[in-house]
Structures are given as structure tokens and as C-alpha cells.
Amino acid sequence: MSVLNNSRPAVDGATSDLLMDLHVKYIQALDTKKNDLEYWLTEHLRVNGLYWGATALHILGKPEALDQDQIVEYLVKCQHENGGFGGHIDHDPHILSTLSAVQVLITYDRLDAINVDKVVDYIVSLQNEDGSFSGDSWGETDTRFIFCAINCLSLLKRLDDKRLNLKKTIDYIVQCRNFDGGFGSSPGGESHAAQVYVCVGTLTILNALHHVDADQLGWWLSERQLKNGGLNGRPEKLEDVCYSWWVLSSLSMLKRAHWIDANKLTQFILEAQDSETGGIADRSGNIPDVFHTNFGICGLSLLRYPGLVPVDPVYCMPRHVIQRIGLTDKH
């Protein structure tokens, strides 16, 4: 096991470096692929995609690589009368795209472009009697949506809204905790590393991390690392670059990031890069996408890969942005 420190991970036997310029070009080119079927199939994720692309570029130290005014103008068009944002223009509002839109606007320091009170009204309207939050007006609930709501209200400094019942939200998250220390998407749901991230993130923001047994959960998370250095989301599953984020950010919040082998994970992420097109895939040899590109780069930032801007493990945004808006480090 290696301990994370401020220096570059000594990647034993490293075969590759982070292809920073190529990844910038890959992200810049995403909006030009209008002849690709995938471009249209992912239309409902356009706002999420903007968040992944913009975040990756900021962590790569290239915030100016996308046209900020064009992005803001586009996002404004995605906000609905009820305050929520759709995944694309004319798509129904959802908490997932609402968080992404707010994250991008705050990252670019352009919150002035939207009606914040209405965003808050929208999120508050999604809280259920049991403390959880629905993803939209259709009512489906999941610990992901709770995190989106709490994260967004925290970024907007509106967690003190009197219409909210945050004690019930904490109680609900605690009910999603399993005997193995992990968390699922609802009470009784199987432990999954991405659900652990959203539950630990919610408890961290709400100053309720004492409900977690950090040693037990830290052990379960560290068991996610396989021999090839990659991390999986639950026992017996395949390794995948995005778990570099879900697992390592959770371990960071629990102050146990040094419980995984940083060198091996760094190498695993670097090997999933596409050295021709740029971008990072879920694992070596597969086609890259902007989701895994972002979480690979953010994972490397948590691993303190040299030249990358530090990322905040709770909000998955540049740490300097979280500091600029005055959210104190909770981790």
C-alpha cells in the first residue's frame, strides 16, 4: 500500500503519461460530432455532458477551452418556469440536470444569469415526506437525487430554507446503510460504490458523517481495488475508471484515501486513455466518452497527478471554486 502525498505518484513501471492536450481537443470536439448517432442518442444528457466536459477542462487547467458565453446562453434556455433545468432545451426538468447546470454556472462564476430563487423552489418541491428527494415531478426516488438536491442547495447557500426537513433526510440516508458498511440506492438496496459516494457526500455536507463507521466502510471501499489496480463498484464486478472517482472521493471524505494503492490506480487510469483520439474509456481498449474522461481526470487529481488542478472530493468541482464561494473544507 502506498500513502498519498503531495508529490507525483511514483508510478512504478509507468508506460504512459497523461495526454493533457489531446484530452482538451477531445472535449472541444464533442459538440462537432453531429453526424454521429451517439450525439443524438445522448441528447437528454447534454447538460450533464457539459458539466463533465467543463469540469475536466478546469481540472486540466484549460477553463477557456470552451466558449463560456455560449454555454451560459445555452443553459439559460434549459431552465423551466418551475425553476428546474432539463437535460437539453425543451426537455423536462430533472434534479440531475439541475445540479449539473448550477455546477457549471458556479464554476464559470455566472450564477447571475439565472433565477436562483426558482431553482430553490424547484428543489424544495421535490422533497418527500420521508426526507428523501424525487428526481422530478414523476416521483422516482434514489439516494442520487438526495445528493443532487443537498449538493445544489449547499452550492446555492440555501440549506437553511425553512421548508426543508434535513433531519429526515439524514435519517433516510442512515436507513440506506447496510450490514457491510456500504450504502444502496434505497433502504435495503445492495451496497454500490457510486451510491456510497452520494450518501457519504450528503452526510458530509450535512455535517452528519458521524453516522458512518469510517473503518468498516473504508475497508469495504479499499476492497474495491483489483490486482490490475482498477476499482470496481461492488464485489465480483469488473473494474471501471469511473470508480476511481466514486471510491477515492468517498475514501477522501473518510480520510482514508491512502488505503488504496495510488500507483497502481494511476497506471490503470492512464492505460484507459485513447492515445489517438484523446479521451478516457471505462477500461483499456474501449471507446472513450466524456463521462469516463471527467472521472478519470478527477480521479488523477485526487491522486495528485502533477499539473492537475485540485478537485474537491465532495462537490466534484475545482477546489478553488468551492473556496471562492466560501464553502469551508469539510474534508
Distance CA 199, CA 205 (A): 10
Interface segment toward Zn ion; rule CB under 5 A; list 71-79, 109-117, 203-211, 277-285: 277-285
Which of 27, 75, 202, 240 contacts ligand GRG by CB under 6 A? 240
Considering the rule CB under 5 A, would residue 136 count as an interface residue with Zn ion? no
Confirm if 176 and 199 have CB atoms less than 8 A apart: yes
Nearer to ligand GRG, 16 or 323 (CB): 323
Extract the C-alpha cell encoding 185.
Answer: 440506492
Which of 282, 288, 316, 317 contacts Zn ion by CB under 5 A? 282
List Cβ neighbours of 281 (8 Å cut-off, separation of 6 or more). 241, 272, 273, 274, 287, 288, 289, 292
Interface segment toward ligand GRG; rule CB under 6 A; list 22-30, 193-201, 206-214, 252-260: 193-201
Nearer to ligand GRG, 11 or 49 (CB): 49
- HSE-CB at 51 with a 13 A cutoff on CA atoms is 22
- By beta carbon distance, the residue nearest ligand GRG is 194
Nearer to ligand GRG, 74 or 243 (CB): 243
Confirm if 225 and 215 have CB atoms less than 8 A apart: no
CB of 147 to ligand GRG, least distance (A): 5
CB of 328 to Zn ion, least distance (A): 31
β-bridge mates for residue 85, sequence order: 79
The footprint of ligand GRG on residues 141-180 (CB under 6 A) is 144, 147-148
Binding mask 266-305 for ligand GRG (x = CB under 6 A): ----------------------------------------
Extract the C-alpha cell encoding 308.
Answer: 492537475
- By beta carbon distance, the residue nearest Zn ion is 242
CB of 191 to ligand GRG, least distance (A): 11
Q: With CB cut-offs between 5 and 8 Å by kind, which of Zn ion, ligand GRG, none does residue 229 bind? A: none
Interface segment toward ligand GRG; rule CB under 6 A; list 26-34, 37-45, 235-243, 255-263: 235-243
Considering the rule CB under 5 A, would residue 242 count as an interface residue with Zn ion? yes
Report CA-CA distances (Å) from 52 to 117, 161, 218.
25, 29, 26
Considering the rule CB under 6 A, would residue 96 count as an interface residue with ligand GRG? yes
Nearer to ligand GRG, 110 or 237 (CB): 237
Binding site for Zn ion (CB under 5 A): 240, 242, 282
Which residues bind to ligand GRG, rule: CB under 6 A? 96, 99, 144, 147-148, 194-195, 198, 233-234, 237, 240, 242, 316
